[in-house]
């Protein structure tokens, strides 16, 4: 299949402010380096959803950690948020989304030895152009198109329809929905969007929830349980 990939320069430019932010990049580095630690993701998720240092402090003091191996890392992430205070100058919905996209991009670059990882790109075949995929990976005969949604509340009907249309054109691509939300919440959102009939879309996508990011390679397809891997 002869297709091309075109990056959306306008969308990329709109996210430059995050890429130039040292705190943002440091947080992405923590998430990638310790992607196999559930508590790292859980702490980042919760701190991203709070809007003051007092809330950060209350959360961190009451957080029960399942893995004490990385206590120093947890504290460093907490201090990063306290110094950064992203809520004071960013739209937090956009910032959270940009974080998950950048984390996914860099995790794929770590897991796959290829330069063919693209951000904010369309896949074009003849007169068809896909919607903007957050991340695309091409590696040997592996083709992955990835949609990133920090929260299950961000998943909309249009995203489901875009994926369906894309799969009709590019069946060889494996489609992923990556979310920093919990698998039950993602499944509930898809069930509501599809009027209690999520089977069709679940058969088209592989869902990576916050619980499953800790796998050595969460992007490996497991056809036995491909709905929520």
Q: What pLDDT does 113 receive?
A: 87
Q: What pLDDT does 92 receive?
A: 97
12-40 burial code (b ≥16 CB/10 A, e <16): eeebeebeebeebeebbebbbebbebbbb
Q: For the chain, which residues make up each domain, given as ranges?
A: 14-93, 114-225
Q: What pLDDT does 52 receive?
A: 98
Q: Which residue has the tokens 């969308």?
A: 11
pLDDT in tens, the chain (229 residues): 688 999 999 999 999 999 999 999 999 999 999 999 999 999 999 999 999 999 999 999 888 777 788 899 999 999 999 999 999 999 999 999 999 999 999 999 999 988 899 999 999 988 889 999 999 999 988 899 999 999 999 999 999 999 999 998 888 899 999 999 999 999 999 999 999 999 999 999 999 999 999 999 999 865 334 455 4
Pairing of strands 133-139, 128-129: unpaired
Q: What pLDDT does 64 receive?
A: 78
Find the distance separating the first CA and the last CA of the chain, reported in whole Å.
Answer: 27
> Taking the domain 114-225, which CATH number applies?
3.40.1560
Going from the C-alpha of 71 to that of each of 55, 63, 103, 148, 151, the distances in angstroms are 19, 12, 21, 28, 26
Q: What pLDDT does 225 receive?
A: 42
Angle subtended at Cα 135 by Cα 133 and Cα 140, rounded to the nearest 5 degrees:
115
What is d(CA 67, CA 134) in angstroms, rounded to the nearest whole number? 31
Q: What pLDDT does 69 receive?
A: 84
Q: What pLDDT does 223 receive?
A: 38
Q: What pLDDT does 171 receive?
A: 85
Q: What pLDDT does 1 receive?
A: 62
Say whether 29 sits in a helix, a strand or coil: helix
Its pTM stands at 0.94
Q: What pLDDT does 66 receive?
A: 73
């Amino acid at each position: 299949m002869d297709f091309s990939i075109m990056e959306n320069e306008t969308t990329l430019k709109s996210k430059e402010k995050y890429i130039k932010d040292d705190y943002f990049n440091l947080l992405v580095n923590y998430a990638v380096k310790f992607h196999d630690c559930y508590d790292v993701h859980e702490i980042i998720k919760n701190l991203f959803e709070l809007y003051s240092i007092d809330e950060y402090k209350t959360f961190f003091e009451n957080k029960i950690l399942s893995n004490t191996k990385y206590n120093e890392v947890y504290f460093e992430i907490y201090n990063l948020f306290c110094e950064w205070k992203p809520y004071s100058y960013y739209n937090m919905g956009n910032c959270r989304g940009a974080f998950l996209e950048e984390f996914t991009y860099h995790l794929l670059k770590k897991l796959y030895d290829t330069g063919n990882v693209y951000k904010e790109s369309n896949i074009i075949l003849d007169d068809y152009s896909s919607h903007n995929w957050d991340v695309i990976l091409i590696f040997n005969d592996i083709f992955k198109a990835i949609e990133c949604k920090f929260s299950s509340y961000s998943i909309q009907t249009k995203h489901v329809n875009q994926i369906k249309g894309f799969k009709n054109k590019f069946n060889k691509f494996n489609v992923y929905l990556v979310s920093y939300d919990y698998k039950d919440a993602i499944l509930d959102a898809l069930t509501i969007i599809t009027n209690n009939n999520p089977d069709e879309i679940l058969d088209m996508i592989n869902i990576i929830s916050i619980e499953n990011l800790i796998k050595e390679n969460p992007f490996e397809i497991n056809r036995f349980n491909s709905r929520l891997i």
